[in-house]
Amino acid sequence: MLDMKLVRNEPELVKENIRKKFQEEKLPLVDEVIALDKEYREAKVQGDSLRAERKSKSKKIGGLVGKGDQAGAEQLKAEVAAMGDALAALEEKEVQLQQKIREIMLVIPNIIDPSVPIGKDDSENVEIERFGEAYQPAFEIPHHVDIMERLNGIDLDAARRTSGSGFYYLKGDVARLHSAVLSYARDFMIGRGFTYYIPPYMIRGEVVTGVMSFAEMENMMYKIEGENLYLIGTSEHSMIGKFIDTILPESELPQCLTSYSPCFRKEVGSRGIDERGVYRIHQFEKQEMVVICKPEESMRWYDVMWKNTVDFFRSLDIPVRTLECCSGDLADLKVKSLDVEAWSPRQQKYFEVGSCSNLGDAQARRLGIRIRREDGSKYFAYTLNNTVVAPPRMLIAFLENNLEADGSVRIPEALRPYMGGQSKLVPPAT
Is 204 noted as a catalytic residue in this protein? no
Q: Which residues contact 135 (CB under 8 A, 6 or more apart)?
A: 319, 345
Is 296 noted as a catalytic residue in this protein? no
Burial of 121 (0-12, 13-18, 19+ CB in 10 A): exposed
Q: Closest by alpha carbon to 207, among 245, 181, 263, 155?
A: 245
Torsion sign (Cα): 121, 126, 129, 130: positive
Query: What does DSSP assign to residue 203?
Result: E
Torsion sign (Cα): 420, 423, 424, 429: negative
Residue of 280, 314, 372, 410 with catalytic role: 280
Residue of 337, 355, 365, 400 with catalytic role: 355
Give the 3-state secondary structure of residue 90: helix
Long-range contacts of 305-309 (CB under 8 A, 24+ apart): 305/356, 305/384, 305/386, 306/338, 306/340, 306/356, 306/386, 308/188, 308/189, 308/192, 308/386, 308/388, 309/340, 309/354, 309/356, 309/386, 309/387, 309/388, 309/389
Tell which phi-psi region holds residue 339, choosing left (phi > 0), alpha (psi between -120 and 50) or beta. beta
Residue of 288, 366, 393, 400 with catalytic role: 393
Is 352 noted as a catalytic residue in this protein? yes
Tell which phi-psi region holds residue 144, choosing left (phi > 0), alpha (psi between -120 and 50) or beta. alpha
Is residue 292 a contact partner of residue 299, using CB atoms and an 8 Å limit? no
Is 280 noted as a catalytic residue in this protein? yes
The one-letter amino acid code at 327 reads: S
Is 54 noted as a catalytic residue in this protein? no
The one-letter amino acid code at 7 reads: V
Which helix (H) or strand (E) segment is 382 a member of?
A: strand 382-389
Beta bridge partners of 127: 323
Q: Closest by alpha carbon to 408, among 170, 180, 173, 182?
A: 173
Tell me the angle at which helices 70-105 and 27-66 cross, rounded to the nearest 10 degrees.
Answer: 160
Residue of 352, 408, 410, 416 with catalytic role: 352
How far apart CA 383 and CA 293 sit, in angstroms, is 7
Q: Closest by alpha carbon to 43, among 99, 92, 105, 103?
A: 92
Give the 3-state secondary structure of residue 233: coil
For the annotated catalytic residues, the residue numbers are: 265, 280, 352, 355, 393
